[in-house]
Amino acid sequence: MRSLMNTVLVGAQWGDEGKGKVIDFLTEEADAVVRFQGGSNAGHTVVAGGRKYVLHLIPSGILHDGKHCIIGNGVVMDPFDLMKELEQAESWGCELKGRFHISERAHMVMQWHRAIDAAEEAARAEGSKIGTTGRGIGPAYAAKVGRRGLRAGDILKPDFADVIRREVAEANRTLRALGAHELEADEMARLYEPVVSALMPYVTDTIQLIHEFIDAKRPILFEGAQATMLDIDFGTYPFVTSSNPTAGGACTGSGISPRSIDRVIGVMKLYTTRVGEGPFPTELDDADGETLRVRGGEFGATTGRPRRCGWFDAVVGRYAQRVNGVDYWALTKLDVLDTFPVVRICTGYRRKDGFVYTTFPADLGALAHCEPVYEDLPGWQCDTSKTTSWDALPANAKKYIERIIELVGGKIGVLSVGPGRETTLRINI
Ligand code: IMP
């Protein structure tokens, strides 16, 4: 199975499944890594050589010498966040010239998008707040769909400053209506002056570049950010992000055909977490939830917020398998469950009238009155963090994983039992 091929990697739950680590692992077999959606709301953590690296916009492939890293057209990038990250990557000794590329079609998150994000969130009533990362993602995608967006290629144009002034005037109307501070157009135009020279060398036609890789049969890894349950179409709408982190997004967000995708890998944590607001059927508000949070280090890589924690949800897993066509699973954080005498798997959501949902309902109101149906399995209560092969796992850990795969479909490909690169076990791929 270990052959050169184009891989799409997606998160199956509500994000923070450990995608950064799996991407880092799979990058060894790829010549290029492409981000296809989202922006600096993502936080991909890689631990290598005892050092922790967190990347928000630049594909994690940058940590591997010689790999090409591409920001695809479906991404919304904040030029200032990107400039900071490029400086950081250089300080880590990463060579960027000739291997880091930004699509001229990628939209930019501008200062006013951040201001609108904050003002809209503040204006939402309690219970309707989304708990966004505050990175301006929703307003930037709204501008894109509303055909008012600024694209990376626009920085190359002589009238970039005038466009900024015009857009600030437009954004101020929205900010005024929301009772927020307005921005000063000339100041904004000046603020963006350094962006032009800093990013210009990287802006290019990435569709052409990606197809050169495809034509030369050089394998590409398409790196999804966020996850299935945060997808604007398939997630827990409206408590979602504003892009398509599911496998289809890899095509629209990078300019490839579905025919160019050879396999889909889903990343799934062996329990569930969520940051921000919105439904979470298996959420635990007790000592078990706290154990998961503390043992799993469940604090947001982008915002530092404590993550909400709960048992594994097979309804979500099955839904993600279908929506993405997951061939192989990368299962993460098994070691976090090491101390539990019993581990629980949710197989459905029971309504008060006895009806059990076995697929994720679109109507979140219906979910609010449901309780999870659990299957209980015995825990293994020993340290799995030093395990180096499937065979060496405790029998109960194997049974837990096998039951999950049976319920969700697909095959197991990778198992992660700790944060470091050396704790990733290759199973079928
Ligand atoms: P936004 O993407 O900043 O608009 O946030 C929308 C929702 O997606 C919020 O609930 C965020 O907490 C969540 N979210 C966005 N990016 C990530 C991520 O990378 N990991 C986990 N949750 C995320």
Q: How many CB atoms lie within 10 A of CB 207?
A: 16
Average pLDDT of the residues of the chain: 95
Q: Supply the CATH classification number for the domain 107-201.
A: 1.10.300.10
pLDDT at 428 over 90: no
The whole-angstrom separation of Cα 367 and Cα 275 is 18
Cα 170 from chain centre: 30
Q: Which of 125-129, 221-225, 322-326 has the lowest mean pLDDT?
A: 125-129
pLDDT at 198 over 90: yes
CB 279 within 8 A of CB 19: no
- Average pLDDT in the 192-206 region? 95
CATH code 1.10.300.10 region(s) in the chain:
107-201
The catalytically annotated residue of 16, 24, 81, 231 is 16
Q: What is the pLDDT of residues 355-386, one digit of tens each?
A: 999 999 999 998 988 999 999 999 999 999 99
What's the Rg (C-alpha) of the chain?
22
Ligand 1 atom 10 nearest Cα: 276
Alpha-carbon distances, residue 281 vs 131, 320, 347 (angstroms)? 18, 16, 11
Active site residue 68: no
- Measured in Å, residue 275 CA sits from the centre of ligand 1 at 7
In degrees to the nearest 10, what's the CA dihedral of 389, 219, 269, 373? -110
Q: Which of 14-28, 92-106, 217-231, 401-415 has the lowest mean pLDDT?
A: 14-28
Q: Which pLDDT score is estimated for 1? A: 43
Q: What is the pLDDT of residues 138-163, one digit of tens each?
A: 999 999 999 999 999 999 999 999 99
- The gap between the terminal CA atoms of the chain, to the nearest Å, is 5
Q: What is the pLDDT of residues 389-410, one digit of tens each?
A: 999 999 999 999 999 999 999 9
pLDDT at 4 over 90: no
Alpha-carbon distances, residue 173 vs 10, 135, 251, 257, 292 (angstroms)? 37, 20, 35, 40, 45
Ligand 1 atom 21 nearest Cα: 15
CB 372 within 8 A of CB 349: yes
- Measured in Å, residue 226 CA sits from the centre of ligand 1 at 7
Ligand 1 atom 9 nearest Cα: 132
Q: Which pLDDT score is estimated for 301? A: 74
Which of residues 182 and 51 earns the better pLDDT score? 182
Report the percent of the chain where pLDDT is more than 70. 99
The topology under which CATH files domain 7-104+205-426 is Adenylosuccinate Synthetase; Chain A, domain 1 (3.40.440)
Which phi and psi angles does 231 have, rounded to 5°?
-70, 140
CATH code 3.40.440.10 region(s) in the chain:
7-104+205-426
Active site residue 353: no
CB 112 within 8 A of CB 212: no
The catalytically annotated residue of 44, 101, 107, 113 is 44
pLDDT at 49 over 80: no
Ligand 1 proximal residues by C-beta, below 6 Å? 15-16, 41-43, 130-133, 135, 137-138, 225-226, 230, 239, 241-242, 275-276
